[in-house]
Amino acid sequence: MEKRGSFGSKIGVILASAGSAVGLGNIWRFPTEVGRNGGAAFIFVYLLFVFLLAMPVMICEFVVGRRSRANTVGAYRVLAPGKPWVVAGYMGVIAGVLILSFYSVVAGWTLHYTVDSFRYALASGQDFGAVFSQFVSHPWKPLAFQLAFLLMTHYVVARGVESGIERFSKAMMPLLLFIILLLTCCSLSMPGAREGLTYLLRPDFTKVTSDVVLSAMGQAFFSLSVGVGCLATYASYFSRETRLVNSAFSVCVIDSLVAILAGFIIFPAVFSVGGVEVDAGPGLVYITLPNVFNTAFSGMPVLGYAFSCLFYVLLLLAALTSTISMHEIATAFIRENFGLSRRLSAVVVTLLCIVLGFACSLSFGPWRDVKLLGLGFFDLFDFLTAKYIMPLGGLMITCFVGWFLDRQLVEDELTNGGALRVRSLRLLLFLIRWVAPVGVAIVFFNQLISD
Ligand code: PHE
């Protein structure tokens, strides 16, 4: 079998993991949730979940991945041979494929909007709501863009860990961060931006109901890519010198910053135009924003053009660095479990995601009446992964690392065999053993009862 890949540098580790985390979840989903659920109050609850629950889960994934040097299923086989923990590994592989299938639908829309913004096709005077719904329900157009996007993902993954995933992340993540900062400055300097900021930053705790708390946790897990073995797979390519705790902390900080900055881009711009709904839901980025770009820059169409092109490129890059990591979960599994080459394993995963992904896309158009458990494919895959597999996966991996694995082994991983002094070690172990599993379990079972 081919040699196992590895990340060549420290910065590669952070940028690839942050690339997985920063995605549509930050730029598309987070501002929508903030707009609907109480502004800064939601951000506050969200950050608590990020650092108290999701970060410990991420650290557990890093421990399992780097220690075992195997894909998610293989990892449990190495660390707990013959034990049922391996179920968590299989759940991760399935979740990776399901998430990639529905996520690539939205990524395909983004590709279409990127092309359209470069072609100057998002010019004013159109009913963007109608344009959007016509596009997503078209029998083949969204499929074509989704396919193109999946092939881009395939190309990077098939090239391997160092010359594909790491190289791509190192080139694209700095560009992505630069675009975010540029757009934030642009947005904040718009007339009326202040109102948007006030809306975003004014905490409205009355809106934080138990449902909102649940969705904040779901959002934290989704945004940090935890609970499906994605970061465990990446960690299996980390070197012995990688500092697991520091890296996890950096990824959480970068991811949260990007999410909040995405709010800083969207809300001031939307408010400066006025008359558009900020809690427009998923259509925000595809319906509200083209309107905003046109109206805000009606006197300077060139700036509007540049702003919209940059925004959709940003969204596209963010989506791509995330889909690569989802794809890698199953590719690594197939490669190591069945002894196939990386290229062939990637082909299998891509084909599977094309079939399932098309089913998701068609659920917005010709297959809108095809329902399983009362849901179309897109909603079903989203529901199964975000509500069940991710929290359950998080629960299992924290129990595995906190209670099953030998404590010395865990400490060795966290301190690189004693070479590092991790000041927060005791606190971390407490979070891993108690806070994270109990917190996730409470939220998860609460949700089961309320469904
Ligand atoms: N974290 C990604 C985002 O915010 C989504 C993702 C989920 C990526 C699970 C990998 C695994 O968009």
Query: Residue 444: is its pLDDT beyond 90?
Result: no
- Is 21 near ligand 1, meaning CB less than 6 Å away? yes
Query: Residue 260: is its pLDDT beyond 80?
Result: yes
Ligand 1 centre distance from Cα of residue 223 (Å): 5
Q: Of the residues 46, 180, 222, 316, which should be mutated to test ligand 1's pocket, given the most ligand atoms within 8 Å of the CB?
A: 222
Instruction: Summarize the confidence of residues 396-418 as an average pLDDT.
Output: 97
Query: Residue 80: is its pLDDT beyond 70?
Result: yes
Closest ligand 1 atom to residue 224 Cα is 1
- Give domain status of residue 4, yes or no: no
Instruction: Summarize the confidence of residues 445-449 as an average pLDDT.
Output: 82
Q: Of the residues 24, 106, 223, 327, which should be mutated to test ligand 1's pocket, given the most ligand atoms within 8 Å of the CB?
A: 223
Q: Radius of gyration of the chain from Cα atoms?
A: 21
- Is 20 near ligand 1, meaning CB less than 6 Å away? yes
Q: Of the residues 17, 20, 230, 387, which should be mutated to test ligand 1's pocket, given the most ligand atoms within 8 Å of the CB?
A: 20
Query: Cα separation of 133 and 40, whole Å?
Result: 31
pLDDT digits (tens, 9 = 90+) for 221-258: 999 999 999 999 999 999 999 999 999 999 999 999 99
Sign of CA dihedral 74, 79, 83, 88: negative
* Side-chain half-sphere exposure of 100, counting CA atoms within 13 A: 36
- Is 252 near ligand 1, meaning CB less than 6 Å away? no
Q: Are 386 and 222 in contact (CB under 8 A)?
A: yes
Closest ligand 1 atom to residue 26 Cα is 4
Ligand 1 centre distance from Cα of residue 162 (Å): 21
pLDDT digits (tens, 9 = 90+) for 42-66: 999 999 999 999 999 999 999 999 9
pLDDT digits (tens, 9 = 90+) for 156-181: 999 999 999 999 999 999 999 999 99
Q: What's the confidence (pLDDT) of residue 38?
A: 87
Q: What's the confidence (pLDDT) of residue 276?
A: 59
- Give domain status of residue 427, yes or no: yes
Average pLDDT across the chain, whole number: 93
- Give domain status of residue 215, yes or no: yes
Structure tokens at 270: 């939307």
pLDDT digits (tens, 9 = 90+) for 25-48: 999 899 988 988 889 999 999 999
Q: Are 55 and 256 in contact (CB under 8 A)?
A: no
- Angle value at C-alpha 121, between 181 and 107, nearest 5 degrees: 55
Q: What's the confidence (pLDDT) of residue 1?
A: 64
Q: Are 105 and 27 in contact (CB under 8 A)?
A: no
Query: Cα separation of 50 and 45, whole Å?
Result: 9
Lowest mean pLDDT among 71-80, 140-149, 261-270: 261-270
- Give domain status of residue 1, yes or no: no
- Angle value at C-alpha 93, between 89 and 95, nearest 5 degrees: 110
Range of the domain at 157: 10-450
Ligand 1 centre distance from Cα of residue 100 (Å): 9
Contacts of 294 (CB under 8 A, 6+ apart): 122, 123, 124, 304
- Is 98 near ligand 1, meaning CB less than 6 Å away? no
- Give domain status of residue 371, yes or no: yes
Query: Residue 349: is its pLDDT beyond 70?
Result: yes
Query: Residue 451: is its pLDDT beyond 80?
Result: no
Ligand 1 centre distance from Cα of residue 224 (Å): 6
Sign of CA dihedral 381, 383, 386, 392: negative
- Give domain status of residue 2, yes or no: no
Ligand 1 centre distance from Cα of residue 273 (Å): 31
- Give domain status of residue 329, yes or no: yes
Query: What is the domain count for the chain?
Result: 1
Q: Are 171 and 320 in contact (CB under 8 A)?
A: no
- Is 331 near ligand 1, meaning CB less than 6 Å away? no
Instruction: Summarize the confidence of residues 291-309 as an average pLDDT.
Output: 85
- Is 72 near ligand 1, meaning CB less than 6 Å away? no
- Give domain status of residue 396, yes or no: yes
Instruction: Name the residue type at position 49.
Output: F
- Picking from 8, 24, 4, the residue whose alpha carbon sits closest to that of residue 321 is 24
Q: What's the confidence (pLDDT) of residue 449?
A: 82
User: Residue 142 belongs to a domain with what CATH number?
Assistant: 1.20.1740
Instruction: Summarize the confidence of residues 420-448 as an average pLDDT.
Output: 93
Instruction: Summarize the confidence of residues 314-333 as an average pLDDT.
Output: 97
Sign of CA dihedral 29, 33, 34, 36: positive
